[in-house]
Structure 1
Amino acid sequence: MSRIFFAQELEGVATFWRIHRRDGVTLGFTSHNRDLWFGGILHRAAPGMVPSAIRRTADLSPDSTDVTGALGHDSISAADLALGRFDNAQVQIGAVDWETLEFAALYNGSIRTVSAEGGSFSAELRSAKSELELDFIPRTSPTCRAQFCGKGCTLSLARFAHEAALGELDLAANTVRFEGIDAPLFAEGEIRWVDGPQAGVRMLVIEVKSGGLALDVPLDPGLAPGTRAILTEGCDHTLAVCSTRFGNAVNFQGEPFLPGNDLLARYPSPS
């Protein structure tokens, strides 16, 4: 909007936050003492959430800020923070007139790191300009640099994603077994839970143990057999697997036969 805030000595202005998580959940909060509905989103009253000073620059350096607050709202819990539900979530911070509901966004970015301690949390935010720090010039590597079924790989994700039901789980070993799948195909793959207590949470398969998939995120004891998940097959990013298993060597984004620095720096020896 074209509204200019703080143009008068006394205005009813509050701060608002919008969090768009990767699992499709959108949360809205405001520093006002009652809930506000604007922009198609209900913003819950959360006076305990306090942003640090927002610095906006005209150059290309990232505009970073922090948000701290108490874990007092039901929408944000220590368990969700630990599960990574807020990791890389998109964040918008702005000002809203709680009388007219006119609002303006002052900051757009994403959550980088979240820490929780003593009933409170702290989130580091990085602005959209931080993407300009990425180095887009590829470096040589013996393994493929492309994300499996991502840009450069060209394979279809739908072809290697499978929905399956949980057969059994071992909380002590943090492993799961699914019905009707070939477990070795999912080594270094990913699991996204569709329902159950961890719905929307993504977990990486770090190892295949006797037909069970060992995951990198602790399993919830409330998971029950029959819980559905989307399993994505894994790739070890080697040329051999890319060629023999996927038939995609033409799109291999690596240099497996390039001599390394140790070979180039080796001294010649007399025969």
Structure 2
Amino acid sequence: MSADMVTTWVLCWRIDRRDGVTIGLTGHDHDLWIDGLRYRAAPGLTPSAIVRGDGLDPDLMEASGALTSAAIGERDLLGGRWDGASVAAIAVDWTGVEPAVPLGQGEIGTMQLGEGGFTAELRGIGALLDQPVAEETSPDCRAALGDRRCRVAMAGRRRLVRVTGWDGDATLTLDAVEPVANAYGQGRLIWFGGANAGLEAMVARSEENRIRLSAAPAFAVEGRPLVELVEGCDKRLDTCLSRFGNVVNFRGEPFLPGIDLLTRYPGA
């Protein structure tokens, strides 16, 4: 490849957020249209060296840049909108003579904010090899409520409600009462309105028309935003039996002796 040809190649990033938003960024000085997506010029976006190999080590790369794009703002970064977003890096010949060359793909890992910019770690597909391949035994169920192993129907266990009050921390008041005690404990809340729209939160506990989130909302709650509540489960066998009637799909070992068996003795 000649030096003249190298000067026509630019790096592009396609980022797909978990809430369905997709943006394209390029290091070129003009916007580019690739496969129907507009890659906006972001000259301040600087990638680290991208190393590709056939080994089993996870592929890691970093990208840093100034917060100059309206699509990526400090407020959204701090709010977690970009956490876990999928990323694809490609090299593109902006003259259109040569086809695009894929460089790597994965998801956004840790992000750090600095003076006037950000640094994002991009975890490649090889990073999936770091995850455990076998489950450990546990007295509690290891399935998620409603997944393919649990098989509890979730059609009637989701509902749209409005937030009518916020204590300034992690407690919300709703315009509806829970169907059973602590129905949404260990469940999820998905924001459809307000400044937190598109974000998800874990519910620590629910009581009548109030819920306690595991962490305070990223942004202040104003007005009466619409949210979706998804019921949760405390993973215990008696809950699986009494509330869901789903013991046949319980994924735990509640009667398996633990290490406390070694400390038992007659009369203890």
Contact 2:176–2:209 (8 Å) recurs in 1: no
**Structure 1: how far apart are the matches of 2:259 and 2:164?**
48
Partner amino acid for 2:205? E
The alignment yields a C-alpha RMSD, in angstroms, of 2.0
Partner amino acid for 1:239? L
Report the alpha carbon displacement of residue 205 of structure 1 after superposing the two structures with TM: 1.2
**Structure 1: how far apart are the matches of 2:173 and 2:218?**
12
Match of 1:43 among 39, 55, 70: 39
**Structure 2: how far apart are the matches of 1:91 and 1:219?**
23
Q: Which moved more, 1:182-191 or 1:253-262?
A: 182-191
Contact 2:104–2:124 (8 Å) recurs in 1: yes
SS state at 2:238 partner: helix
Q: Does 1:9 align with 2:6?
A: no
Residues 129-144 of structure 1: matches in 2 within 5 Å?
129-144=126-141
**Structure 2: how far apart are the matches of 1:136 and 1:125?**
22
Report the alpha carbon displacement of residue 191 of structure 1 after superposing the two structures with TM: 0.7
Report the alpha carbon displacement of residue 170 of structure 1 after superposing the two structures with TM: 2.0
Q: Which residue of 1 aligns with 2:203?
A: 205
Q: Does 1:93 align with 2:89?
A: yes
Report the alpha carbon displacement of residue 163 of structure 1 after superposing the two structures with TM: 1.1
Q: Once the two structures are superposed, what CA deviation does each residue of 1:117-175 show, in whole Å capped at 9, x if it has no partner? A: 3222111111112222322211100111112222311123333111112222222x332
Q: Which residue of 1 aligns with 2:30?
A: 34
Match of 2:19 among 20, 23, 38: 23
Contact 1:94–1:103 (8 Å) recurs in 2: yes
Match of 2:111 among 106, 110, 114: 114
Report the alpha carbon displacement of residue 18 of structure 1 after superposing the two structures with TM: 0.7
**Structure 1: how far apart are the matches of 2:103 and 2:45?**
16
> Matched residue pairs, number?
262
Match of 2:121 among 120, 124, 147: 124
Contact 1:35–1:42 (8 Å) recurs in 2: yes
SS state at 1:116 partner: strand
Report the alpha carbon displacement of residue 85 of structure 1 after superposing the two structures with TM: 0.9
**Structure 2: how far apart are the matches of 1:191 and 1:267?**
43
Q: Which residue of 2 aligns with 1:223?
A: 222
SS state at 1:82 partner: helix
Structure 2 unaligned regions, length at least 5? none
Q: Once the two structures are superposed, what CA deviation does each residue of 1:55-94 show, in whole Å capped at 9, x if it has no partner? A: 1111222111111111121111111112211111100011
**Structure 2: how far apart are the matches of 1:267 and 1:197?**
54
Contact 1:52–1:67 (8 Å) recurs in 2: yes
Report the alpha carbon displacement of residue 268 of structure 1 after superposing the two structures with TM: 4.9
Report the alpha carbon displacement of residue 239 of structure 1 after superposing the two structures with TM: 0.8
Contact 1:83–1:217 (8 Å) recurs in 2: no
Contact 1:174–1:219 (8 Å) recurs in 2: no
Contact 1:60–1:129 (8 Å) recurs in 2: yes
**Identity rate, percent:** 37
Q: Once the two structures are superposed, what CA deviation does each residue of 1:210-258 show, in whole Å capped at 9, x if it has no partner? A: 7422222425235311x21111011111111111111111111111111
Query: Normalised by the size of structure 1, how large is the TM-score?
Result: 0.90
Contact 1:94–1:107 (8 Å) recurs in 2: yes
1:27/1:217 Cα in 2 relative to 1: closer, same or farther (>3 Å)? farther
Q: Which residue of 2 aligns with 1:167?
A: 164
Q: Does 1:77 align with 2:73?
A: yes
